[in-house]
A and B are shown apart, each in its own frame.
Chain A
């Protein structure tokens, strides 16, 4: 399986994502934001970080960078595009996934482990996953997902909610919501479910000596689904 990770100026989880993808069997290539063409890939990842310093609005400038036209075309033709954290913020700015990401409710950066429940397994990202509650890691300042009521209805009607913040048992309640996201949303798909944006970082949970191993389940399952 081939993957590509885009490096924008200010990306800082690009190497971590590269390490994770390779660990689970992807042949990964790093792609510079000023390139025009994507290499042939089964998966394109927009990594976390502070592209363009988060200036103007998180993700907004990166969404206009040269490589993004190819990424958008790739997504529109059914290609798998995953945006993590800042990558999710870039995805909402391109319009590939609906909604926006506001500042965290308590106006503070949050770095900690959280539990998320997989709300839709009928897609190439989560199909066949054995455990539908994952312990992942978040590290963000603007992860407070928001959309209009109309958008929310459409998102729910199309089963576009990917993951929600929850407790270890999978209970989705306000008290387990770290950042004020509407309906505890931690990640969403586009209508076709080939584009996924999410705040948690699975690439930081790929080793028992790190925070945990649920990221490993995620990547192992992902590469199997793509085969």
Chain B
């Protein structure tokens, strides 16, 4: 087949991109080469629209061992231990085929982590679906949850936390973001940088099939009416093989034979070989006849672009091949020497004794396109004038019941009970809390992780929304007693070719950068998913932030359930009564406009760090951050989890009760303290200039409001737990 412009465009390349390829090669590429360029230059692999902006994110810190650019980020947690972690999207395939799409998303992110030598110790996910009324939502939710569980459960890695939301902007593009944390010894981290000449290049894992060809290109385009036809681009996962691959790789990594290792994720053998060569400033020569194939007569084009799962590429020390092969034989996995490193700085492919591709590595990587896309700045919307009479007529308890049973607030037990969250025997905080927590096996340390996003805030004002998500992650870690270390981000947006969507991206990234820089909470890994768009309709901007923190002594971990009757409950942080963009405004007032709550980074940091001090001094019995639904929602959840009630009293400074209880001002927590510690706690809060309200005292089983309105906790629990189960069983 002679390559021409039309074929290039069918591969997702732009006219001028094809022109540039011809210039760089000084000739027209053949079909295999064109396939390689299209895979490397698509948005998913090249970050061509985002690179310019991602550069601005803070990525360094005292505990950062590896920032963005490797398979995953790495942070130091002391005693020669390090945590490897990353979040990644698998949005497009999950909409087309929810089970396999979600499953292979989980498989892919785990591979990114164990490629670096780390044993995965926890999985998290952030999943977003269309309106609960939309005809596809139920099946997509069921399929995604089964897929995540199917893969993670089989791998024996606990799924410890997650986030689920419903919004009509995801009707045609669901989001599936999967995050994995792994544990590694600091001196046994593996990287993807090849080194040395004539070193054997080894292929291990599953055989290569025709599945997932052009998966990365599919993920770099918008959806249209013919989306069902894209099914063959979705990969098919086999968690059993991945479990074997994990054990075999870790066994090989215990020795010293690996120079570099890279998993075959998006764009398969193409991106893995090119990445290793590019980082090592070397060339790689591969004989494609040696690649283990599942199907007969696969062409070089298909072999290079297949996204078959559970495969790795390794550059080995000379003479270690037999020893390595023994390990992979033991685990019944394919092992093949397929090529070698060269000094040519080119990727050279041979098939049936013919050279089928000859491309300088730098043309694929350094010379890949980078765009400074046009973008539009978002204005801060004006505040709504809320009619006080309207809200004063509302009955708080009735509103609370509606909020607690809202799809975006209600208990997600139906989901996380399908995930094995206790395997490995170190999960000390299960899903349903502020963060999941796992012990560092055999030590007193524990690692907390949470995943957050606030699409509504980001949509209303991307800059504020970007800051808010980072702050929420910070708070979720602090609420369990963990010191925040670093974040990973998964940036889900519409088309970068649309100025407004691009503006959302640029400003969310700016917000993320400002907050993470101020909070010393750097970004160490992540990915960008653009084109979450069907025809002209893009999703709400949805950056997901995965935060990781350390608890030095897990006996000091905090949970959110109220512990003891007569204990005192405080609100840390000031309530201004910000109702715009709150769940209350959307669900009760049906008001969708207005600015999101403001972020004050000084207060955020000061309140959080002061709370950590209190936790460290054993003065906090339970804690929970205040987010969607405001104070009363947060308190209700603490009551429900602890099977306790509370006598609530609104402090005098804010006049309106509804505003006080449902506002979504930021930087706030609810904490429980014992009577005897009250003076000590208030002294510390005062000394650190942290605003607090005395909210009430804990009782047996009733929520009382200003001594007149009441409701039993069992009733609230019913509202909170029923909705999702009933929705999914109808």
Contacts and interface: CB of A to CB of B under 8 A. Distances in A.
Contact of A209 (B243, B332, B554): B554
A24 to B, nearest CB: 14
B156 A110 contact: no
Contacts of B423: 12-13, 16, 48, 139, 204
A139 B422 contact: yes
Contacts of A108: 146, 417-418
A210 B425 contact: yes
B619 interface: no
B156 A53 contact: no
B417 A50 contact: no
B149 interface: yes
A52 B156 CA distance: 13
Interface string A4-23: 00000110110110011000
Contacts of A9: 240, 243-244, 331-332
B428 A109 contact: no
**Contact count band on B:** 20 to 34
A109 B420 CA distance: 8
A210 B426 CA distance: 7
Contact of B420 (A20, A111, A207): A111
Contacts of A48: 423
Contacts of A167: none
Contacts of A112: 417
A10 B243 CA distance: 6
Interface string B602-637: 000000000000000000000000000000000000
Contact of A53 (B238, B424, B427, B557): B238
A50 B423 CA distance: 12
Contacts of A203: 425
A13 to B, nearest CB: 6
A15 B157 CA distance: 12
A49 B417 CA distance: 17
Nearest to B414: A108
Nearest to A211: B422
Contacts of A204: 422-423, 425
B422 A50 contact: no
Contacts of A15: 424-425
B332 A111 contact: no
Interface in B521-559: 554-555, 557
Interface of A is mostly: mixed
Interface string B129-155: 000000000000000001001100111
Nearest to A49: B156
B239 A53 contact: yes
Interface of A: 9-10, 12-13, 15-16, 19-20, 48-50, 52-55, 108-112, 137, 139, 141, 201, 203-204, 206-207, 209-211
B223 interface: no
Contacts of B241: 53
A52 B240 contact: yes
A16 B423 CA distance: 8
Contacts of B424: 15-16
A203 B241 CA distance: 25
Contacts of B238: 53
A203 B156 CA distance: 14
Given A54-B154, A139-B153, A12 B243 contact: yes
Contacts of A110: 417-418
Interface in B552-574: 554-555, 557
Nearest to A204: B422
B467 interface: no
24 contacts: A9-B243, A9-B244, A9-B332, A10-B240, A12-B243, A15-B425, A16-B425, A49-B156, A50-B156, A53-B241, A108-B146, A108-B417, A111-B153, A111-B416, A111-B418, A111-B419, A111-B422, A139-B153, A139-B422, A201-B422, A204-B423, A209-B554, A210-B426, A210-B428
Contacts of A211: 422
Contacts of A55: 240
B251 to A, nearest CB: 12
B128 interface: no
B156 A12 contact: yes
B186 interface: no
B415 to A, nearest CB: 10
B240 A50 contact: yes
Given A9-B331, A137-B422, 14 more contacts: A9-B332, A10-B154, A10-B240, A12-B423, A15-B424, A16-B423, A19-B425, A20-B425, A49-B156, A50-B154, A54-B240, A109-B419, A207-B425, A210-B427
Q: Which of the listed residues B156, B331, B418 has the most CB atoms from chain A within 10 Å of its own CB?
A: B156
Contacts of A111: 153, 416-422
Interface in B227-274: 238-241, 243-244
**Which 5 residue pairs of A and B lie closest in terms of their CB atoms, listed nearest first?**
A12-B156, A53-B240, A16-B425, A50-B154, A139-B420
